[in-house]
Structure 1
Amino acid sequence: MFHSLSLRLRVFLFFVLMGLGSVVITTGALYYGYGRAQADDPASGYILAAVMSSFGLIALMIGVWLLFDENVAKPIERLAATMRTRAHAGVDLELDTHQARYLGDLAPAAKAVSHQLTKTTLDTAEAVASETARLSMEKERLTALLTEIPVAMILVSPSHQIVLYDAQAAEALSQIHHPRLNASIFDYFDESGLLEAHTDLLQSGIDVPFTAKGIHGNLEFDARLKPLGHAPGYMILIDDAHAMASPDAARPLIYDFDLMDHDVEHVLEDTPVSKLNFVVFDTETTGLLPHKDEIVQIGAVRVVNGKIVPREQINQLVNPGMPIPPASTKVHKVSDEMVADAPDIHQAAEKFHAFSNHAVIVAHNAPFDMAFLRRHGKTSGLAWDHPIIDTVLLSAVLFGASETHTLDALCDRLGVTIPEELRHTALGDAQATAEVLCLMIPMLQSRGFNTFGDVIQQTRKHGRLLEDLN
């Protein structure tokens, strides 16, 4: 019967409970104090009554608050989070009307709105899918056409950030660093020589041959800078790249043309969170003690423009220099035999450090993973001073601190599936965390947390969660 009451009536009953409870407690305290009052000191009875009524009223307020929090406040918070997830992350989650059973007609009304939103979204999705299929065909034609060109291609924005590269260019770049969208081209090639050729390109408007010198070792490539007509930016063509890969090999394109318009001069705190470069990573270790255990695997993926970049990932086994306990192997499936010929933590960390250059590092419970890297950074000379975002804290910002914030719980909440064979592997958990991050970015923006500074300010309010986890 209580379930059929309106929300307004339920709130009214909370106040009635507080009023009646206050009367009963105060009356009872006065009666008890009167009975205990001494003839020569009647004030003692009133003092006793005041003390008893004070404690009683405080207990009543706490009890009513707990009832209100559990039956009204928390369900409203969960309802709002679920609707925001559906609206901004595109996750088709069913509203839990049982949890919101004391909210009157609010939950059914929210469910009706959500179903209508889903119907509208499906209609839109059909149109988008049709257009996406057309663009996919065009991309396949473009890829097939470019396959016939025996050079490696890198498209660079006016601010010298990588916008596109093909598989042969990726092979050339990987000899210096892991290829990365939106990375500075000067992370790979000597800046002075490239800028000199770029100046000639701007003045002549025609192809400019030059020697692309790698920033490490003695790597050199015969290359050309090619203008893009009236379009901004330029293209680097590496003429001898065909020697590095079979001309018949598949040449998938990695690109994001929206990066052409990126302004790289933003102060980090003022940079829109959707425009940040993220490296999302996870580690598997010999144990849970960062001061004595070691990393056995590093997995990482890159997120650019709010999307996971295909093929830009690290899946690196690490030789910990110590036996891996059988209990740990049972969890992450990494054995002593698997890491016997793997690089040590200094080599693996250096590779990951370069992969994370000019990016915001993201992890689920980041202090744990970063503690291992920073301990070895002191001896290897790597400064782990990257800005960091923790998805545990993002979960608390979006769903409330009282919710469960494990990676599994967050994936369930956002409809992200971790294949069982990838769970508790570094790359699998990094991929899942990256998918979660991509869904949470528009949700953060819908709350008005648009810049990196806004997000960090909100996550600091929940820092105690990480202290409790670690």
Structure 2
Amino acid sequence: MRLRLRIFLFFCLLALGGSAAIGLGLWAGYARAGVGQAVDSFVIAGLIAVLGLCALTVGIWLLFDENVARPIERLAAQLRGRAHAGVEADLDLHGVRYLGDLGPAAAAMAGQLSASTLATAGAVAAETARLEAEKARLASLLTEVPIATVLLNPGHQIVLYDGQAAGMLAQVAHPRLNASLFDYLDRGAIETAYTRLAKTGQEVTLVAPCTHGELSFRCRMKPLGDAPGYLLILDDSTAEIAPEAPRPLVYDFALLDQPHDLALEARRLEDLAYVVFDTETTGLLPHKDEIVQLGAVRVLRGRILPGEEIDQLVDPGRRIPPASTRVHGITDAMVAGAPGIDSVAASFNRFANGAVIVAHNAPFDMAFLRRQAKHSGLVWDHPILDTVLLSAVLFGTTESHTLDAICTRLGIAIPKDRRHTALGDARATAEVLCRMLPMLKAQGLETLGALLEETRRHGRLLEDLN
């Protein structure tokens, strides 16, 4: 139960208790007087006293809420931001001026924490630089070996892929960490080969048809010794592999040990994959307007995955109103020849498979996709998180929950040339999510199910917003 609600209930109890005491005192006085004609006077005096007490209680509660309870909640949220999300902005001491020495004491503690954090960050940065140098050397070495490689955990989820593998997988769907291999290659062929691999412990060769289209890849499945999972090498000679091109590695070895048999609602927030998206449209009416741009990024283990994104213009099949162009800058000429929403929505649906969808004011953007799904047959059964509601959980319902306000609160800068572009707003929302996840965990919301239940309590915010 939030602090402000507890204080409100305390004042309610105070008003009820005071009213009961006034009523009991008047009843006792009337009983002693023993004059029947005095009953009206006692009742009127009681009503005036009770109403006066209630008015006084409400007035004091409003002052207490505005100058004590709300500043305490705001100060707590600012401290959580510094402790768990790395926010470096100064504390708002003016807003907590009526809390005595609590504000300056919190600021002093935050300063000490920042100093300690900076020292730790310096050491971490040095170690990170060393690891990045090793990664660059590894990437340079692998560039000379033109083999498309994918590392998978026992649940057939992608743990690592290189540039060559990314190019081959992209012929089927967007390459993505933590995605199921069955989004790309036939489940039966992979499971049959994996069963042989588990029995023999020896390399297995196979031809795996692709899940979408008529492509198939010749593959080699190799064991990892005592480590869980396996290595899949794509040997298809038709793949266009440029030996001299940079070979970026995308990986997260923690995925090797990640549980893959738990329902999404039971998984910890840090173990989930998130697809954060935004749209630009011809207008603000989902039942009649159309999408003109869709942008999306993927977040895994608290970081935005480089290269795993969608930035796609969409032909709306109608003219874009000048008023809308003034907001997002997209013109009719820019969308000429772009794919339609059916193709883009299907690609985005595959991109978000197995992930939690996140958006700022998600009902607005999802309304466009669900309207399109009525005639395309796409199924949008993904869990959905809304950063408006996450902000309400963390900072209270009385704060502003616009994307700009949340970014300012969390110390996130949105480049002006990226604001009101689908990918720019999606990336800003993803940065907001990355800052919020450790703060939510600090509040005891550790699983997706617990977080969804908490956000439902603030659903009225979205109704009012839309």
**TM-score with structure 1 length normalisation?**
0.90
- Structure 1: which 5+ residue stretches go unaligned? 1-10, 31-39
1:459 is matched with: 455
Identity of aligned residues (%): 60
Shift of 1:242: 7.6
Post-superposition CA distance 1:349-407 (Å, at most 9, x none): 11111111111111111111111111111111011121111110100000111100000
Q: Does 1:426 align with 2:422?
A: yes
Cα distance between partner residues in 2 of 1:398 and 1:215: 41
1:37 is matched with: none
For the 8 Å contact 1:317–1:339, the answer to whether it is kept is: yes
1:109 is matched with: 105
Counterpart among 338, 343, 350 of residue 347 in structure 1? 343
Q: Does the residue aligned with 2:182 lie in a helix, a strand or coil?
A: helix
Post-superposition CA distance 1:99-134 (Å, at most 9, x none): 101001101111111111111111111111111011
Counterpart among 79, 98, 106 of residue 75 in structure 2? 79
Q: Does the residue aligned with 2:99 lie in a helix, a strand or coil?
A: coil
2:292 is matched with: 296
Shift of 1:49: 3.3
For the 8 Å contact 2:359–2:387, the answer to whether it is kept is: yes
For the 8 Å contact 1:301–1:313, the answer to whether it is kept is: yes
For the 8 Å contact 1:275–1:306, the answer to whether it is kept is: no
Q: Does the residue aligned with 1:313 lie in a helix, a strand or coil?
A: strand
Shift of 1:295: 0.8
Cα distance between partner residues in 2 of 1:395 and 1:56: 38
2:315 is matched with: 319
Cα distance between partner residues in 2 of 1:206 and 1:143: 27
Cα distance between partner residues in 2 of 1:203 and 1:48: 90
Shift of 1:44: 4.0
1:238 is matched with: 234
In the alignment of these two chains, the number of paired residues is 442
Shift of 1:41: 6.2
**Over aligned residues, Cα RMSD in angstroms?**
2.2
Q: Does the residue aligned with 1:102 lie in a helix, a strand or coil?
A: helix
1:273 is matched with: 269
Q: Does 1:207 align with 2:203?
A: yes
For the 8 Å contact 2:186–2:210, the answer to whether it is kept is: yes
**TM-score with structure 2 length normalisation?**
0.91
2:192 is matched with: 196
Shift of 1:208: 2.1
Partner AA of 1:423 in structure 2: R
Q: Does 1:171 align with 2:193?
A: no
Cα distance between partner residues in 1 of 2:426 and 2:62: 37
The change in CA–CA distance for 1:344 and 1:242 in structure 2 (over 3 A counts) is: closer
Within 5 Å, give how 1:388-403 maps onto structure 2. 388-403=384-399
Cα distance between partner residues in 2 of 1:203 and 1:453: 37
Post-superposition CA distance 1:5-38 (Å, at most 9, x none): xxxxxx9xxx9xx99x99xx99xxx9xxxxxxxx
Within 5 Å, give how 1:22-421 maps onto structure 2. 43-240=39-236, 243-421=239-417
Q: Does the residue aligned with 2:156 lie in a helix, a strand or coil?
A: coil
- Structure 2: which 5+ residue stretches go unaligned? 1-6, 27-35
Q: Does the residue aligned with 1:324 lie in a helix, a strand or coil?
A: coil
Cα distance between partner residues in 2 of 1:127 and 1:241: 45
Cα distance between partner residues in 2 of 1:309 and 1:320: 29
Q: Does the residue aligned with 2:71 lie in a helix, a strand or coil?
A: helix
Cα distance between partner residues in 2 of 1:159 and 1:442: 26
Partner AA of 1:172 in structure 2: M
Cα distance between partner residues in 1 of 2:222 and 2:90: 52
